[in-house]
Structure 1
Amino acid sequence: MKSIFTKAAVAALALGFATEAMAEEWNVSVWGKRRAFTEHVEKLAELVSEKTNGEFTMNISYGGLSKNKENLDGISIGAFEMAQFCAGYHADKNPTITVLELPFLGVNTLEEEVAVSNAVYASDAAQKDLARWNAKLLMPSPMPQYNIVGTGEPRDSLDKMNGMRVRATGGIGQAFKAIGAVPTSVTATEAYNAMESGVVDTVAFAQHAHFAYRTIDQATWWTANLNPGTVNCPVVVNIDAYEGLSDAHREVLDSSIAAAMDHYLTNYGKTLAKWDEVLAEKNVTKVELSEDEIAKFRATAADPIREAWIEKMEAQGIPGQELYDLVMETLKKQRM
């Protein structure tokens, strides 16, 4: 009897270890608070858990694991398994995907932003680039064109933007610099205080971020049609963690991305629909620049910055022209 009990106990213990070994728990580093920008991460975690009956779970941390500018570093050392970051936070660490932050690319919709992002992410150049940080590009965080909010006299011409202190990163920051503004790359979480204290006059964000970081609460005006570009903020996973998944869990993760992105796009549409209501509630004036002013902005910023970017990439052995052409070709296909 003792022998039978012992064998049963050992078998039960072994089963417990096997079950534990099958379980997979990932830590995910994002920042701020839950918002439209993170809904695909939330949905992905939900789907993965549902499909695996809780065997594969993701613990999403909003700032508790790392600062947003350090998420890629955290991925590289395996401090967590998944993270979101923005290319413009550290362009030197992820130069290939900064092609998606060039000003005035002509991307008009979130669906187009998804298409061009996925095309660049799938390129050999981008995958090699991010692999230096042990990072695999998983999915984009598409955002609409940025526009600026500010206080005081509306900046409705390039002349009035000369000397303007603006919170803007990446290619958008370069575009503003080209017309005489002074860009600063304070993080999204610092933007409200920077605006309140006068460190910046204006803040460039997509709509969800003006909501999430309350910059709209200080604004008296916003540019409705400037549309200089957007930032690119991928979700990445640690390559070792990804390759260490069981085949079943990896398939669940990969197959859930499309649904997570669909959820993101649907949810973001609600945010855009709410935007006009909030502007009216807060008496924020819509400022529309003339077509001539926008054309001047594009001529001053788009071509020179693009050509300088391509030249810089090629000098580093990165196929800058090829990546830019890939974006343009993808846009054409998307519109057919």
Structure 2
Amino acid sequence: MRKYLNRAAIAALSMTFATEALATEWNVSLWGKRRAFTEHVEKLAELVDQKTGGEFTLSISYGGLSKNRENLDGISIGAFEMAQFCAGYHRDKNPSITVLELPFLGVSSLEQEVDLAMALYKHPAVEKDLGRWNATLLMPSPLPQYNLVGVGDAPATLADFAGLTVRATGGIGKAMETVGAVPTSMSATEVRQALDSGVIKAASFAPHAHMSFGTIENGKWWTTNLNPGSVHCPVVVNTDALADLSDAHRDALLSSVDEALAYYIDFYNNKTMAAWGPALEERGIEQVTFADAEIAAFKEAAAAPAAASWIEENTARGLPAQELYDMITGMIAGDS
């Protein structure tokens, strides 16, 4: 009887160890707090857990694993398996995808932005660029056009931006320079304090971030139609970790991307934007709309020079910059 029980115990333990061996947990590095910007990652975790019966899980951390500007570095050394970052935080580390941050590209919807990003991610030059960090691009975090929340007197014309310190990264920062503003790059989590202390006078964000990071709490005005562009913030995975997944787990992850993005877009369009107007009105924030002629002049001054500079700079890096730019602008033109 003792011999039988020993065998049974061994078999039970073996089954336990086998089950544990099959379980996979990935650490995911985000920042801030759960918000519209992270809903696709949250949905992805839910779908992967469901499809694998809990055998593959994504453990999401909001700032506990890395600083947001260091997420790509963390991916490169395998400190965690998945992360989100914004290209404009370190343009030299991911120059190929900054084409999507050029000002006044004319992206008209979140759906279009997803199409552009997913096409760009498949380009061999882009794969090679991110491959330097052992990173595989998984999905974008599509954002609407950025606009400014500011303190002090509201600008009446674009000339009023002269000398104004503005938190603006990437191509948006370049665009703001053309109207005399002084752009500064800082992470989203630093913006509220900088605005409240007077280090900056305005901040460029998408609506969800203005709400999430509190710029509207003390903000006095909001630009409704500058629309210079948006930042590009992909979700990446460690390439080795992706390769090490079982076929079933890898399929569960990759097959969930489209549904996660669809959920994100629905959430942003129907929940975040529905809350944005009332949030401004409740706080008495002045909404500033510039004349069409001024916006046209802004676009003319900013768009072409920024594109030419980007192409020249990144051609010198060895990227097929003109090809990447033509691909993106050609897709946009084809949709219009």
Paired with 2:6 and 2:326, the residues of 1 have a C-alpha distance of 68
Look up the match of 1:291: 292
- Structure 1 segment 286-325 matched on structure 2, within 5 A: 286-325=287-326
Matched to 2:137, the amino acid is: L
Give the count of matched residue pairs: 335
- TM-score scaled to structure 2, two decimals? 0.97
d(CA) in 2 for partners of 1:92 and 1:10?
A: 55
Structure 1 residue 303: deviation in Å? 0.5
State the identity %.
59
Structure 1 vs Structure 2 CA RMSD: 1.1
Instruction: Please say if 1:175 is aligned against 2:195.
Output: no
1:95-106 matches, within 5 Å, as 95-106=95-106
Q: Which moved more, 1:194-203 or 1:49-58?
A: 49-58
Is the CA contact (8 Å cut-off) linking 1:119 and 1:330 kept in structure 2? Answer: no
Partners of 1:123 and 1:90 in 2: how far apart?
A: 20
**What is aligned with 1:133?**
133
- Displacement of 1:212 in angstroms is 0.2
Change (3 A) 1:319 1:156: farther
The one-letter code sitting in structure 1 at the alignment partner of 2:80 is F
How far residue 158 of structure 1 moved from its aligned partner, in angstroms, is 2.3
1:27–1:59: 8 Å Cα contact kept in structure 2?
yes
Alignment TM-score, normalising by the size of structure 1: 0.97
Which SS does the other structure have where 2:28 is aligned?
Answer: strand
The letter for the 2-side match of 1:250 is: R
Q: 1:334, 1:188 → 2: CA distance?
A: 32
Q: Distance in 2 between matches of 1:241 and 1:199?
A: 41
Residue 282 in structure 1 maps to residue 286 in structure 2 = no
Contact (CA 8 Å) 1:43, 1:263: kept in 2 or not? yes
Whole-angstrom distance in 1 between the partners of 2:261 and 2:36: 11
- Letter of the 1:322 counterpart: E
Matched, 1:58 2:66: no
Corresponding letter in the other structure for 1:126: V
Measure the CA separation in 2 of the matches of 1:8 and 1:330.
Answer: 63
Q: Mind listing any 5+ residue stretches in structure 1 that lack a counterpart?
A: none
2:257 corresponds in structure 1 to 257
Which residue number in structure 2 is paired with residue 162 of structure 1?
A: 162
The Cα of 1:2 is off from its aligned counterpart by 4.0
Quick check: 1:83–1:236 contact (8 Å CA) kept in 2? Answer: yes
- Alpha-carbon displacement from aligned partner over 1:273-326 (angstroms, at most 9, x marks no partner): 221111111111110111121112111111011001001111111011111111
CA distances 1:144-197 after superposition (whole Å, capped 9, x unpaired): 000001122212322111111000001101111222211111110010000000
Match of 2:194 in 1: 194
Distance 1:332 1:181 in 2: 30
Measure the CA separation in 2 of the matches of 1:333 and 1:300: 24
For the 8 Å contact 1:27–1:80, the answer to whether it is kept is: yes
